[in-house]
Amino acid sequence: MKKQTILPAKSINGGIELPGDKSISHRYGMLAGIAEGTSELRHFSAAADCHSTLACMRALGAEIKIEKDVVRVTGHGPRGLQAPRKALDAGNSGTTIRLLSGILAGQNFSTTISGDDSLQKRPMKRVVAPLRQMGAEIVARQEQFAPLEIHGARLRAISYEMPMASAQVKSAVLLAGLFAEGVTKVIEPARTRDHTELALEEFGAEIEHHGLTTTVRGLGIANGHGTITGRTLEVPGDLSSAVFFIAAASLFAESSLLIHNVGLNPTRTAILDFFLSMGADIKTPSLRTAHGEVVGDLAVKGAVLKGGIISGDTIPLLIDELPMLAALGPFTEQGIEFRDAAELRVKESDRIAALAENLRRMGATVEERPDGLRVEGRKAGKLHGAEIEPHGDHRIAMAFAIAGLAAEGKTVIRDADCAGVSFPTFYEELDRLVQG
């Protein structure tokens, strides 16, 4: 339960390479585990969440060797998983439990999967419902929470119109679709990140996506043919982690920061568009494509941020970045407001409540709403340092560490180590770049 002290800064300068993208690392780790042969996954995320996925894949029979950020996974093909000896532990990771449920639904054995206290409070009905439609038998605590007891079955392909915009739900159904007879179709109500689709393509599955509709052909497992094969893949840096440094650099006129090799998949860059719309100084000097994913460098300088409102279909495209934006609110001219973001209440913590509580601790003026938040801008007064309670949520801890740099006096982040869920070296990197 480490406490981290944050002192006022003058600017953010230098260069940084971020840990591998968390969303992509989860998908590569899972697909490598059900592929035939060895995959080499370079620049794999250091996040505790992604290591929860690797531990689950290992317990299911994949061979995994980890050397720094290179992970070698040897899978035994889509029929190669074995029943684990005990319940799988997804830790704090919603992506692990929800995506893996899709794979487990198609196995010829039963598995129990659970996670920490936070994960056991998060809604699982959203994946249980479509996987049941595909033929799996799933027992959930009170019909909606982990532990999930998943009795795998011969799955049937379905056409699933998703009731909510969620990449995790889409991915669970697509992964189950690999084990189903025929073509599984998913229709989204709004765009969400498409890393699963791109990763499936890389591993050799038959997948097509047009607009909001995605289809995947089952691997014909019941007939003993069809497979996906191990690959060498490089994970780009995590844009959701980069955002803490983009925010930090933007706050100070004298900042100049270069962020190398960041994933810039268009389903993730709504956050950059929003920063630009606020007047941020962000340039992308180079862009390339690797394994279907767009990758580039970001050059960030200090700027006066206007603030603004985010709502509707944009919310799912930058949901993980909302804590940082809210914590920036008091430093903007017009403040920051989110609407249609009730989903924030069922993330690693109730992020709307956690943001409102900690912003108030620092002296901000905040209106908390059932599906959003309004944070007043500069005119409402300067922020002062405070003791921050992240409620075990990595993104709350990191967002307030950045706010602390521009507040008056000392900020202390309680339980600061929770940042390791996505970014174990966050405070060291911040310390290296901060000019005090």
Q: How far is the CB of 423 from ligand S3P (least distance, A)?
A: 13
Is there binding between residue 100 and ligand S3P (CB under 6 A)? no
DSSP 334: S
Q: How far is the CB of 171 from ligand S3P (least distance, A)?
A: 6
Is there binding between residue 197 and ligand S3P (CB under 6 A)? no
Structure tokens at 171: 């991915």
Local structure of 210: helix, strand or coil: strand
Is there binding between residue 349 and ligand S3P (CB under 6 A)? no
Euclidean distance between CA atoms 91 and 288, whole angstroms: 34
Question: Is the separation of the CB atoms in 133 and 172 below 8 Å?
Answer: no
The single residue among 167, 172, 352, 383 that binds ligand S3P, judged by CB under 6 A, is: 167
The single residue among 53, 166, 215, 332 that binds ligand S3P, judged by CB under 6 A, is: 166
Q: Phi, psi (5° rounding) for residue 411? A: -115, 140
Nearer to ligand S3P, 348 or 415 (CB): 348
Helices 48-59 and 22-34, interaxial angle, to 10°?
10
Cβ–Cβ contacts within 10 Å for residue 77, how many? 17
List, in order, residues 6 or more apart from 310 with CB less than 8 Å away.
274, 318, 322, 325, 336, 337, 338, 339, 341
Interacting stretch for ligand S3P, rule CB under 6 A, among 30-38, 110-118, 128-136, 164-172?
164-172
Helices 270-277 and 239-250, interaxial angle, to 10°?
10
Nearer to ligand S3P, 227 or 314 (CB): 314
Nearer to ligand S3P, 67 or 117 (CB): 117
Cβ–Cβ contacts within 10 Å for residue 223, how many? 9
Which of 21, 194, 320, 417 is an active site residue?
320
Euclidean distance between CA atoms 62 and 81, whole angstroms: 7
Is there binding between residue 53 and ligand S3P (CB under 6 A)? no
Interacting stretch for ligand S3P, rule CB under 6 A, among 76-84, 316-324, 361-369, 410-418?
316-324
Q: CA of 339: how far to CAs of 43, 348, 351, in Å?
A: 35, 19, 13
The single residue among 45, 53, 95, 314 that binds ligand S3P, judged by CB under 6 A, is: 95
Cβ–Cβ contacts within 10 Å for residue 282, how many? 18
Q: How far is the CB of 182 from ligand S3P (least distance, A)?
A: 25
Euclidean distance between CA atoms 188 and 169, whole angstroms: 10
The single residue among 319, 398, 403, 407 that binds ligand S3P, judged by CB under 6 A, is: 319
Is there binding between residue 118 and ligand S3P (CB under 6 A)? no
Closest residue (Cβ) to ligand S3P? 23
Q: Which residue carries 């379905």 as its tokens?
A: 158
Site string for ligand S3P, 18-47 (x = CB under 6 A): -----x--x---------------------
Nearer to ligand S3P, 398 or 406 (CB): 398
Interacting stretch for ligand S3P, rule CB under 6 A, among 33-41, 101-109, 166-174, 423-431?
166-174
The reply to whether 117 belongs to the active site is no
> Letter for the amino acid at 105?
A
Residues that bind ligand S3P (CB under 6 A): 23, 26, 95, 166-168, 171, 192-193, 316, 319-320
Q: Give catalytic residue positions.
A: 320
